Structure 1
């Protein structure tokens, strides 16, 4: 059932983005009286799941969910319809329209992608508000969960002050800033230290297959146990472990170091159960494990109830949500731009993390969450917009590049040149597609 929920969110998000992107081309084409021959969700290689002709346009759904397209008459695109281009230009064709109109048609798709992302962020800000923990309220520092971050010099208990010279305001922003950062200022034992990340930090992070960089420090709370665990009947659900082998335990990140000192031993432990102190005797196996399930994903409400952190919630009116949502969209756009720069630098190793459809699929949660759905869709919309703007023939950005050349020089590239450029761009895209999805397959098999 979980995979069905993930797949449903994935296909709904993908379909929404594709249809709206293609509408971005379709609507200005219609405004400028340019004939659109096809409007397709997904690709109809050999056959369609559904199609219906209305006016001059065939609307359909293909069987191959790798994207979608609109086929505009008189335009050299992925259909490579060269026969049409050999005929005399007709008034309703793309090639007969002024360059400025063609430019607007080609920019329509990415424009819709960016507008959609900003609208989503505004809507989410208005509907959900902001739930956050102020960085200044994280008194005991953060839990460093990435070996790559430890290797770079950070330690559990460090307070993250700034990344790349920009002050950290809330915990929510720390992981994203660290992942894209080059230099971090931390506070340790009352002193500030400057740590510079290695060039290949992202590569090191991905090699360790970490789920994140830092987490909030939370108590060690029992969430369950395997049936064969010798401690299954010793602990109870929601027990908060406060000491093991006489050593006090304030946070879950302190447990493993104590267990490693007492492998294969039976030791005393203390828990808080229903508000009362309870003494236990627990077994630690030869691997230094209690063989119990730790509650690693405490909700903000639980953290506040336990007195760990002060949770701040901000609700905004519609007018207040507009500038805040726009700023969130701008930050995501800038962050994605930084990612692309890293992908372009082989020394960072970031290209190894380039993923395809499986990576996107795995971003969605295994439970239905509209908040997660819209948040992921907004990010994907920005990614789709930026990727389509890349100056690669066969992408919108390639067409825009040649149109700008035509507008500036007054010379239109020949149809033959455009056909060859389209073919080159097509092979570049196939190469990128194979590389990204090949990365997915490699990681699924070997990591």
Structure 2
């Protein structure tokens, strides 16, 4: 059922983005009196699931869910209709239109993707605001338990000040900032220390596995998830949701402090001070010879930590006027972060290519239960990503056509039809290779 919910959200989001992207080409084409022969969601090789002709345009849904297209008369595109190009140019064809009109038609899809992403982020800011743990509010530093964090030279209690010289706004954004960054600065016991992020950091991050979780955490209280069945304290007064605040008078503000304290009382019985709701009480606990009490740790949510007085969360509400710059800023950061990641993918030494994913990876980022906020957040991200990808100067993408049109406008020389046909084929081969590699990565990770 969870897979069905994820898949449904993925298909809905993808379909919305494709239709609106193609509409971005369709509308200016119509405005410039250019004939549009087909408007398709998904590809229709050999046959269509649904199709209907209205006026001069056939609208339909194909059976290959790899995108969509509009077939514009007199244009070398995915259809590779070379026969049409052998005929004399007609006034309603794309190739007969002035270069500036062709440029607008080609940029229409990308324009819609960027505008859609910005619009969604603005509406999300207005509807939901922002709720997060500010990095500056993690006043007692981070909790280090992951080997990747240890390899970076981090220790529990370190405060992460900056990455590439910029302060980090949200604690939850630290992982992404490390992915995109090259160096960072921490404060340890009042001393500021500069450190480098290894070139292969992304490779190390990927090698941990998709279920490894975050590699950095704020420090948590010693909250009890449950008492293990084989625990020496199974019959004690200790209960789930209890928070141990002291052992034999040794204060424990955070869970990471417990290991050292418990190791001092191996094989002994101790008095634990426990916070249970608004009540505080002392209970007797037995410590194993390994310095354990036999419990499962409970990782609390940020809102619970705020109620307990550990962290102050930011909860920002925006008026519609305030949501506009906030949504714009989020859109810009989304775009710049994506560009930084893409640059690292093309540097083999980073290992970022391991993280390149296809449809399984994209589908997996949707939640396994419906959340309007999550759905639209992901859709906004995908819209901006799709817009940027289509701007890449690769033949067969909008960016490739834009480059050829700009060349014509600058030099006054129009590339020949044969050249455009060959370029389209080369671009298509590159895209198929990228698609196979990305989805091959997905399959490899599934088996791994």
The TM-score normalised by the length of structure 1 is 0.91
Q: Which runs of 5+ in 1 are unaligned?
A: none
C-alpha distance in 1 between matches for 2:385 and 2:268: 53
Greater mean alpha carbon deviation, residues 265-274 or residues 198-207? 265-274
Tell me the residue number matched to 1:17: 17
Is the 2:228–2:294 contact (alpha carbons within 8 Å) kept by the matching residues of 1? no
How has the CA–CA distance of structure 1 residues 345 and 126 changed in structure 2, closer, same or farther, with 3 Å as cutoff? same
- 1:34 CA drift (Å): 0.9
- Residue of 228, 239, 242 corresponding to 1:239: 242
Is the 1:49–1:60 contact (alpha carbons within 8 Å) kept by the matching residues of 2? yes
Pairing of 1:239-388 with structure 2 (within 5 A): 239-242=242-245, 249-254=252-257, 270=272, 271-274=274-277, 275-281=279-285, 290=294, 292=296, 294-296=297-299, 298-388=300-390
Aligned length: 443
C-alpha distance in 2 between matches for 1:49 and 1:232: 61
Greater mean alpha carbon deviation, residues 212-221 or residues 31-40? 212-221
How has the CA–CA distance of structure 1 residues 35 and 288 changed in structure 2, closer, same or farther, with 3 Å as cutoff? farther
SS in 1 for 2:112: helix
Aligned alpha-carbon RMSD (Å)? 2.7
How has the CA–CA distance of structure 1 residues 268 and 433 changed in structure 2, closer, same or farther, with 3 Å as cutoff? farther
Write the deviation string for residues 33-78 of structure 1: whole angstroms up to 9, x where unpaired.
1111111111223322211111111111122221111111111111
Tell me the residue number matched to 1:67: 67
Greater mean alpha carbon deviation, residues 55-64 or residues 18-27? 55-64
Tell me the residue number matched to 1:427: 429
Tell me the residue number matched to 1:143: 143
Is the 2:142–2:219 contact (alpha carbons within 8 Å) kept by the matching residues of 1? yes
Answer yes or no: is 1:394 the counterpart of 2:372.
no
C-alpha distance in 1 between matches for 2:291 and 2:91: 77
- 1:5 CA drift (Å): 1.8
How has the CA–CA distance of structure 1 residues 4 and 405 changed in structure 2, closer, same or farther, with 3 Å as cutoff? same
Write the deviation string for residues 266-317 of structure 1: whole angstroms up to 9, x where unpaired.
965734333233525468699979463x432x33331211111112222121
Tell me the residue number matched to 1:98: 98
How has the CA–CA distance of structure 1 residues 9 and 260 changed in structure 2, closer, same or farther, with 3 Å as cutoff? farther
The TM-score normalised by the length of structure 2 is 0.91
Tell me the residue number matched to 2:412: 410
Is the 2:131–2:313 contact (alpha carbons within 8 Å) kept by the matching residues of 1? yes
- 1:402 CA drift (Å): 0.8
Is the 1:147–1:208 contact (alpha carbons within 8 Å) kept by the matching residues of 2? no
Greater mean alpha carbon deviation, residues 408-417 or residues 210-219? 210-219
- 1:257 CA drift (Å): 7.0
Tell me the residue number matched to 1:188: 188
Q: Which runs of 5+ in 2 are unaligned?
A: none
